[in-house]
Amino acid sequence: MAAPKDPRPCSIADALALVGEKYSLLVLREVCLGNGRFDQLVRNIGAPRDVLAARLRRLVDGGILTKRVYSERPQRFEYRPTPAGLELEPLLMLLKEWGDRHLRADDDRPMVVEHICGNELVPVVTCAACGDEVRHEDLTAHPQAPGWTLSGPAAA
Amino acid sequence: MAAPKDPRPCSIADALALVGEKYSLLVLREVCLGNGRFDQLVRNIGAPRDVLAARLRRLVDGGILTKRVYSERPQRFEYRPTPAGLELEPLLMLLKEWGDRHLRADDDRPMVVEHICGNELVPVVTCAACGDEVRHEDLTAHPQAPGWTLSGPAAA
DNA sequence: GCCGTGAGTTGGAAATTCAAACCCTCTTCT
DNA sequence: AGAAGAGGGTTTGAATTTCCAACTCACGGC
């Protein structure tokens, strides 16, 4: 199909199509914290029950969450992150840290996360190859597929 | 008001309220690539023009983007990331890498990003204090505000 | 029996999204 | 001069989604 006027092929867009809908990442937050039951999710996230049900279905068959029975008779379920889901947790930590820094007063942090090293977690994105912190100026994008147009070294 | 049945106070939720709407992070992707003009954004993202206009307004007054004039007569504008916006770019890189890994075939990568160190960028989230990669098992959450309930060391 | 809990589903009103068309201000082509 | 873009949106109306409250179904406890 890929007709003219097709948006770019892009893994960021693909990832967002799966986890970028309203509430999806909050579901993941809760599930990573161990709060994987339907009513907990409703309460903690504040999402309408029907929307939440739809998100859970989507996340389960997107391979982010699994639904497991924690009680037969009465049958009760719990959602848990898959390995792929857990791999998104650092991204949540980053979002949290960004939010703490830009959207809140210094003394108003609803949650603090501790790293196993004993310090408060301050997540930083680094380059796996050289270990340096990743910063915008140090990146160069190389499109590999059609559909991409970069504004070359344009105006400063 | 914080009545009963209020969702948690949370920086992740706050951050998502600002950049978590549909298309917002794609706008940031484009703007970080230097494609900051309205029509470029429409084409590259594939968003309806009115929705895009709304997102741009929101991102501008959320302090993520600035709108600047790149030509008087005819008056033309361009959107660019603010420092706060640029700080979200590593997060986009992470999303991209996650998407490449989980949502695509190995040989189908629409874009590759090169780090200044000369290698392909593989972003990793590390702890600023100890430098180790951040993994779920190494984290402990400490709620600081009311509204939080953690399922203690619950069922394995 | 009657109430409560967990995990959803249903129904209808309200808010958003989508797509295409339209508008305005220039600039360029002929 | 007149016609035809380009760029940056706004308008309009229909198609989707969201929201919210109420309802269901299956137990378990009192």
| CATH number assigned to the domain comprising residue A52 | 1.10.10.10
Q: Is residue A51 part of a domain?
A: yes
Q: Is residue A60 part of a domain?
A: yes
Amino acid B92: pLDDT:
98
| CA of residue A46 to C1' of nucleotide D19, angstroms | 11
Q: Is residue B151 part of a domain?
A: no
- B80 and B95 share a domain? no
Amino acid A152: pLDDT:
54
Helices and strands, counts by H and E, chain B: 6, 5
Q: Give pLDDT tens digits for B22-60.
A: 999 999 999 999 999 999 999 999 999 999 999 999 999
- B76 and B132 share a domain? no
- For A88, the closest of B46, B92, B98 (CB atoms) is B98
Amino acid A67: pLDDT:
98
Q: Is residue B149 part of a domain?
A: no
Q: What's the CA gap between B81 and B72, in Å, rounded?
A: 21
| Residue at A101: amino acid letter | R
Whether A142 shows a pLDDT value over 60: the answer reads yes
Range of B69's domain? 11-87
What's the mean pLDDT when you consider all of chain B? 92
- B80 and B96 share a domain? no
To test the contact with chain A by mutation, choose from B43, B98, B106 the residue with the greatest count of A C-beta atoms within 10 A, namely: B98
Amino acid B45: pLDDT:
97
Whether B69 shows a pLDDT value over 90: the answer reads yes
Amino acid A146: pLDDT:
85
Q: Give pLDDT tens digits for A42-91.
A: 999 999 999 999 999 999 999 999 999 999 889 999 999 999 999 999 99
Amino acid A6: pLDDT:
67
Please answer yes or no on whether A126 and B127 come within 8 Å at the CB atom: no
Chain A residue with minimal CA distance to B36? Answer: A151
User: For residue B152, what pLDDT band results from cuts at 50, 70 and 90?
Assistant: low
Q: Is residue B1 part of a domain?
A: no
Whether B132 shows a pLDDT value over 90: the answer reads yes
Amino acid B2: pLDDT:
39
Contacts of B41 in chain A (CB under 8 A): none
Q: Is residue A145 part of a domain?
A: no
- B95 and B123 share a domain? yes
- B19 and B81 share a domain? yes
Whether A100 shows a pLDDT value over 70: the answer reads yes
Assign residue B8 a region: left if phi > 0, alpha if psi is -120 to 50, beta otherwise?
A: beta
Nucleotides in chain D with any atom closer than 7 Å to protein CB: 6-12, 18-22, 26-28
- B67 and B111 share a domain? no
- B57 and B107 share a domain? no
Residue A72 CB lies within 7 Å of the nucleic strand D: no
DSSP A133: B
Amino acid B7: pLDDT:
81
- B82 and B102 share a domain? no
**HSE (side-chain half, CA atoms, 13 Å) at A57:** 6
- Averaged pLDDT for residues B4-26: 91
DSSP 3-state of B12 = helix
Q: Is residue A130 part of a domain?
A: no
Q: Is residue B16 part of a domain?
A: yes
Number of domains in chain A: 1
